[in-house]
Structure 1
C-alpha cells in the first residue's frame, strides 16, 4: 500500500492505528513517508482513546513537531480529524488555523480548542479568507464579534451579519446598521437578522432599496408610506435648519468668474465629482451647474433645464454620468432644491432606487430627456 492511498480521507482510523511495535519503528525512521504515517497513526489512537491531561503537553509537542514536517495534504487531513477533537493540543490547532485557508477552514469553523484570544489573533494576523471563516463560526462570542466590527472590513462584517448564531450585542447590531450605510452587502442580511430592533429597522429602512424596504415593512409592521414621509420630512428639516443666506448670481460678470474657475480646474485635471458635491454643500449652485456641464460634456442650458424640471430624473442621470455616487444623490438633490426655489420637482419615479447605471447609459438617458423631455430608455 502506498503512502498516497493511506493518506486519503477514506482511510479509517482503525487502519492507521498500528501496534506499539509498529509505532516505535515509525518513530525511529527518518523518512518523510514514515513521519506522515506516524502522525496520522497517533491522531487515530488519540481519537479512539483521548489522552489524559498529564500527558497532553508532551503529546502536543510530538504532534506539533511532526506536523511541521509533513506535506500540505497530510496537514489538511489532520485539520479535518482535529476539527471537533476536544483533546487536540491547542498549539497544534492554532498552527493549523493559521495555515493556508483550505487547511485552516475546518478548525476555524469547529475546533473547541480555539479560544477568543486565538480568534482575535487570527483576525489580526491572517488573510481576509481566514477572517471571514472566523466571522462565520457558530456561536461566536460577543467579544470576537466586537473585534470584527472594530476592524470594519466589509467582507468580514457581511459574514458576521449573516451569522444568526453569533452573540452580537445590541450596540454591535447598531454599529452594523450604521456600517450598512456605506456597505450595501450588509443590508440584506441585516433585514433578516434576529437581533434587529424596530428602531434600528427604521434607520436601516432609510438607505435600502425597494425590495428590502418591503421586507422590513412586512417584518416590523412598518407603514411604508408614513415612514417615507417621515424620512423625507426629517431630511428637509435638517437642510432647513442648516441653510444660510444664498448669494445669487445677478450679473454676467459673476457667472463668467464661475465658468473661468471650472475651466482652470478642468485644465489642471482637478475637476472631480467630489468637487461638484462640495459646491452644492457650499451653496454655490452656479459653480455646480458649470462644473457638471464641463465634466459631463453637456451644455449649461441642458443642466439648467434639468434643474428646473418637474422631476429629478434628468439631473440624476447627469450626476450618474460624471460619477457622482447615487448614495449621496438624495441628500444633494434636497440641498439643490433649497437653493433653487424647490426645483427640480418631485414628479416621477425615484430612478436612483433601481440600482447602479453605467456612465455611458446615464449620459444617453440625460441627453434624451434634455432633448425631448420624454422618459428615456436605457
Structure 2
C-alpha cells in the first residue's frame, strides 16, 4: 500500500488537529514534483478530496500551501477560490493559477469580501479592475483604489464615481489617486457638490435654492482650480468632458482667461473652432486684436466678451514675457474697464451679467490676496 493510499484511508478517522498539518504536508510534497507518476495522481486525488473537507481549518491549510504555486491542481484551486472568504483569501489574493476570466467571474458572483480580496491582488489587470468598478461593492472599489498594482482605465474610474460617488470615503480615495483622469476629477467634483447641496445641515442653514446656487458657484471655482492640476496634454480631454456636460460656457471661459489659464483656453478654442492648435496659440500669444476677436467669434463666444478677453490676454502676454507682475485681481480690473469702455462707446448699460461675473471674480481675487498677505504676516 502506497503512502497516499494509507493517507486516504486514514483521513475519515483522523481528528481536525491531525488533518490540518497532514493536508499542508501533502500539498507541499505534491508541489515539489518528486513523486512517481502513480503517486502523483493519487496525491492529486487526495488533494481534491481535501478541498471538500468539512473543516474550514483543513481547507485553509490547503489554500495557504497551494496559493503561490503555478503547479497547484487547477480543480483544487477552483474549489478553494469558491469557498467562504476566510478560506478562499490566500488563493484569491495570491494564486497565479486564476486567470482574468476566472477572476472576473468570481467578482461577478462573489460577495463584497470576495471582491475586495481580488481587488487586493499584487497585480490587477484592466479587465479585472473593470469588473470590480462595474459590480463591486464600496469596500471592493476602495481596495482597488488603494492598490498601487492595479491597472485602472479611465472608464472604470468613471463607473466608480457614478456608482459610489456619494460615498465620502470613495470621494476621498478617488481625489487622492494620481491615476484619476482630469475629466473624472471634474465629475467627482460635481458629485461632491451634489452631496454638499443636499446635506441636511446645509439645507437647514441656507435653504434649497441658496444651497444649489452656492454649490454651483463653488464647483465652477473649483473647476478652474482643477485646470492647474491637469497636465497640458490632458486639457483637450477636460475640454471635451466639459463640453459634453454643457459646462463649457462663455462665462466659464471668461473666468478661465481672468485666472490666466491660457493654455486651457487655447485647448477650448481649438475644440470650438476646429482650427489647428499652433494657429490658435500663435493668435493668443501675439495676434492682433482683430485676429483674436475673429477667433473668439468663430468659437461662438458672445461679442460682449471679446474686448474684456482681449484686455486680459494683453496682461497675461506681458506676464509671460516678464514685463510685469500681475494676477487675476489686475486682469479682472482691466477686463471691467474694457467692458465699461465698450458699453460707453455703444451707449449701452454696463450692469450686464458679464459685468457682475467680472466683479465677483475681482472681489474673490481681492479676498484671496488679502488672505495670503495676512497668512504671510502671521508667519
Q: TM-score range by the shorter chain?
A: 0.3 to 0.5
Q: What's the TM-score once normalised by structure 2's chain length?
A: 0.46
Q: What's the TM-score once normalised by structure 1's chain length?
A: 0.46
Of Structure 1 and Structure 2, the greater helix share is in 2
